[in-house]
Amino acid sequence: MNGLSYDASKVAAELREQLASDKRRLGFFIGAGTSMSVGVPGIVGLTEEVDKKLEKKQRGQFNWICTDIGGKPNVEDVLNRIRLYRELLDDDEKKNHSDLTGKAAKELDAAICMAIYEIVSVDPPKGMTPHRTFAQWLNACYAGRVWPVEIFTTNYDLLIENAMEQVGVPYFDGFVGSVAPFFAPECVEADNTRDCEAVCPPRSWTRLWKMHGSVNWYVRRDEKTGKKYVTRLSGVNPRQGEELMVFPSREKYVASRKLPFLAYQDRLRRFVSSGESVLFVIGYNFSDEHLNEIIFQGLRGNNRLAVNVLMHGDKKVVDGKDRLTLPQTIEEYGRTYRNMSIYGPDKSVVGGVPGGWGSFPHKKDDPEPFAYWSDEEKRFTLGEFNAFTAYLERFIGFRSVTFARTYTDVSLKEGGK
C-alpha cells in the first residue's frame, strides 16, 4: 500500500454519475453473490447439496469423478468432465471409461441437473427484496436512455426474472413464443438502430443474457425430424429423456454456433469491444476464465469501456478479527487494466493505483445510514447486493416498505444508530 486513500462518498457519487448517464451503454455482470445474498447457495454450497441429493450409486460416480479431477472441483467442473465422457462414449451403454458407461454418464448428467433445479428453484430463504429493488430501479431509469440496459449473469436461478415480472419490467432473453418459446439468435445479435427495427425488441426492454444457462431451459427433440432444439419453459418438470440446459458443455458448443451460450458470449464481446460503455460487475469472483478473457479483451481493445467491479471480499483474520478483504488476484486485475476500477471492502484500485479507504466524514445528525459504507466496520459495502440495491433505492428516490427489515436482518449496520 502506498499511503493513498480513497474517499467513499466521492466514489459513491462518481458511480452515481455513471449509472445516471443516458448516452453510454449500461450493463451489469451479475454472479452468484447476488443470489447468495438472499440465501441461495453459491457454487461450493451447491456442489455439497447436489452430492447429498444423488442416489447412492450416482453419488459414488460423482465422488469418483471429483477424485479423478483432483483438487476441490465444483459441480460445474464435474459436469464439464461428465460431458467430455459423454462425447467420447457417445452415450452408449456398451462403451465405458473405467466403470462409467456412456449411458450412465448421460443419466448422471441428468440427475445432477435435476438436483440443481430442485435446489435453486425454491423461494429464496431471505426473500426477494434486493432483487425487487433492482427491478424497480430498472423500471425507473429508462427515461431518455439511448441504449437498453443489458444484464449478463452466470446464475441458473430465476430470481432476476421473477423480480422483473413482479415489478412489471419488460425484458428479452433471446426466446420468443408462448407455448414452447424458442431461441431467436437474430434478435440477440441485433442492436437498437434503424437498420434492425424489424428484429430488435424495444430499447425500453431490459436485455437478460444467462451465460451459464437456466433451470427453465430444456433440450427437446422434434418428434418428426429428430432434431434437437432449446426451449424455455416455466412451472413444468422435464419429460423423460429431456435435459436441462445448465452450464455450457462441450457438446453444446459444437452442436450449433447459434445456441444460447455462444450467442450470449458474442453479445458480451460486442458490448465490451466497441463504443462508450460502462459495465458494473457484482457478486462475481472471476472464476470463469472464458468469460474473464472476453472482458479483458474489451478492456485491452476499447479505451472507452469502463468496468466497475464491486467486490464483497474474502474473510481474513486481521489483528485477531475476521475482516473482509479484497482478494489479491482481483487487485492485480485492477493494476493491469487501468479502465477497470476495483472497489473492495478494505481497499480499491482506480486507474491502476491501489489505495485504502480514508476516514468517512460521518455526522451524528445524518437522518439514515449510508448504503455504501459501514461505519462500524470501516469498510465499503457496495460489493454486497443488499447494500448495492439500497444505494440504487436512494439514488432513484423510491422506498420499499419491506426493505428496512431485510436490511437489518443482513446486519448492514452502517452509519448512525
Residue 146's φ and ψ, nearest 5 degrees, are -75, -35
pLDDT at 237: 67
Q: Which CATH number fits domain 5-40+127-175+186-212+259-409: 2.40.30.210, 3.30.830.10, 3.40.50.1220, 1.10.260.40?
A: 3.40.50.1220
Q: How far is CA 231 from CA 164, 218, 219, 220, 240, in A?
A: 20, 5, 6, 7, 15
Query: Residue 279 is placed in which grid cell?
Result: 459495465
- Report the distance separating Cα 390 and Cα 376, nearest Å: 18
Residue 112's φ and ψ, nearest 5 degrees, are -65, -45
Residue 362's φ and ψ, nearest 5 degrees, are -80, 140
The pTM of this model reads: 0.88
pLDDT at 239: 61
Nearest residue to 211 (alpha-carbon basis) of 167, 271, 169, 168? 271
- Report the distance separating Cα 284 and Cα 297, nearest Å: 18
Residue 212's φ and ψ, nearest 5 degrees, are -115, 20
Q: Looking at residue 239, what DSSP letter applies? A: P
Contact in structure between 89 and 105 (CB atoms under 8 Å): yes
pLDDT at 359: 76
Q: How far is CA 212 from CA 11, 27, 118, 297, 342, in A?
A: 31, 17, 17, 20, 24
Q: Looking at residue 194, what DSSP letter applies? A: G
pLDDT in tens, the chain (417 residues): 456 899 999 999 999 999 988 889 999 999 999 999 999 999 999 999 999 999 999 999 999 999 999 999 999 899 889 888 888 888 788 888 888 999 999 899 889 988 998 899 889 999 999 999 999 999 987 766 788 999 999 999 999 999 999 999 999 999 998 888 988 888 888 776 555 555 678 888 999 999 998 988 888 777 788 777 888 887 776 665 567 777 765 544 444 445 788 899 999 999 999 889 999 999 999 998 999 999 999 999 999 999 999 999 998 877 778 889 999 999 999 999 999 999 999 999 999 999 999 877 665 555 556 789 988 888 999 999 999 999 998 876 655 433 333 333 333 333 333
- Report the distance separating Cα 124 and Cα 409, nearest Å: 14
The residue type of 282 is I
